[in-house]
Amino acid sequence: MRVTIFGTGYVGLVTGTCFAEMGNHVTCVDVDARKVERLRAGEVPIYESGLEELVEENVHGHRLFFTTSAKEALAEAELAFICVGTPMSETGEADLRYVESAARDIGRHLNGYCLVVDKSTVPVGTADKVRGWVQEELTRRGATHTFNVASNPEFLKEGSAVDDFMKPDRVVVGVDSERARALLHDLYQPFIRNGLRFYTMDIRSAEMTKYAANAMLATKISFINEIANICERVGADVRQVRLGVGADQRIGLQFLHPGVGYGGSCFPKDVRALVHTAEVAGYQADLLSAVDAVNQRQKQVMLHKLNAWCTLTNRPLSSLTVAVWGLAFKPNTDDVRDAPSLDLIRAVIAAGAQVRAYDPKATHEAQKALGPLPRLTYVDDAYDATEGADVLLLMTEWRPFRRPDFRKLASQLRGKVIFDGRNQYDESRTSPYGLTLYPIGVPARASQAQTIKG
């Protein structure tokens, strides 16, 4: 099939590449000429496992193309996917300026029937706006081409997006015509051969499904973080509690991982956008507002623990050198948007401390996001960060961090302290080397400070 993708960001590039991998002729449009040139050369501007190899293979196989010309991309398109960003505005609502721009480009250059598909995460009712924008441009140039608009939300996890797309647990499409349903079913057939994971619904329900899914996952994260903070204060161990809770098949263990809060491009934005959508509809979404509030508070937990340790040991924070392992908001990605690590680094630097930071993939993105900061050093090796540091703060659970050399860390860290923001370690592994461990949601031993709580 002939497919056009508007936007070569995270969603657009993965979507276009995976469609091309199944033999479709895919043309991706982006306004950034430099980015288009890099992609034509097989260079991928984001880190996503397996994506660069697929882009290179499909570019060389003449199935995947990149251009800055919407007219060129739409010349023979049967489907046009809108995969542009929908950043959060100051009011919490999704900013649809890029969606509108793509829709108007489609209206200006459409030369026959085409199914226009919203894949960007957009508020309920956006498809109606897209239909209006496309029609306005068609009317302006006196064209009478027919088109349909559909919703096809993405459910990709950063770090495993290619696998998620190639082997989806479900495909959701919102349509208002049989023609649109048939086109999307045909396109996705290679991905869902058993036919059991293709869900057809009305357009507004499909738009809502994406927000509801992300809000549910964010809720589980904030819930277990709330439980973790209670555990610390009542003498319970959240690591044991989550096992007992997660054993219930109605609940499960997925996303019940206490830590320093969620980040990324989806959960923070989508939860707030859904709260705003509810407000516009005359409903106060108290639960979702609380999910966001708990997450914002959780991002401060590590700083509170560090300050409490400084008080206990009579060391001013400004005198410390702090090693930070992990800058990305989660492992297997270079995405630092809304990453808890960035809030922590800003706060520690503002307090006068030195910071030595390491991440396997996200250093460049963190440098762009944080800008020039005094007393902040990025290093190329995890143990370069801890050499001569007072404490280590684990912020992202990258695999190489899961079983570090604790003997080496004990010799490097002057304070012999690890603040484990992702609950990756166990005292049985750290204490033999004289290292003190402060996880999330675990009460301090009698030999530690009972005040070191999130």
| Contact indicator for 417, 436 with CB cutoff of 8 Å | yes
* H or E element, residue 79: strand 79-82
pLDDT tens readout for residues 81-127: 999 999 888 777 889 999 999 999 999 999 999 999 999 999 999 99
Percent of all residues in the chain with a pLDDT value above 90, rounded to a whole number: 91
Residue-level pLDDT at 445: 63
Across 41-56, average pLDDT: 92
pLDDT at 45 over 70: yes
Residue-level pLDDT at 452: 52
pLDDT averaged over the chain? 94
R_g over Cα of the chain: 24
**For the whole prediction, is pTM greater than 0.85?**
yes
Residue-level pLDDT at 450: 41
For 182-219, letters b (16+ CB in 10 Å) and e give ebbbebbeebeeeeeebebeebbebbbbbbebbbebbb
**Tokens linked to 150:** 């559909």
Query: Looking at the annotation, which residues are catalytic?
Result: 266
pLDDT tens readout for residues 125-174: 999 999 999 999 999 999 999 999 999 999 999 889 999 999 999 999 99
DSSP class of residue 317?
A: G
Rounded Cα distance between 206 and 73, Å, is 26
Residue-level pLDDT at 449: 44
| φ/ψ (deg, to 5) at 211 | -65, -40
Rounded Cα distance between 421 and 260, Å, is 6
Residue 34: band (very low, low, confident or very high) from pLDDT cuts 50, 70, 90: very high
pLDDT tens readout for residues 221-280: 999 999 999 999 999 999 999 999 999 999 999 999 999 999 998 999 999 999 999 999
Concatenating the DSSP letter of every residue in 174-236 gives E-SSHHHHHHHHHHHGGG-TTSTTEEEE-HHHHHHHHHHHHHHHHHHHHHHHHHHHHHHHHT-
| Contact indicator for 8, 30 with CB cutoff of 8 Å | yes
Closest CA to 442 of 434, 424, 429: 424
Residue 453: band (very low, low, confident or very high) from pLDDT cuts 50, 70, 90: low
pLDDT at 218 over 70: yes
Across 409-419, average pLDDT: 97
**383 CB neighbour count, 10 Å cutoff:** 15
pLDDT tens readout for residues 416-444: 999 999 999 999 999 999 999 999 999 87
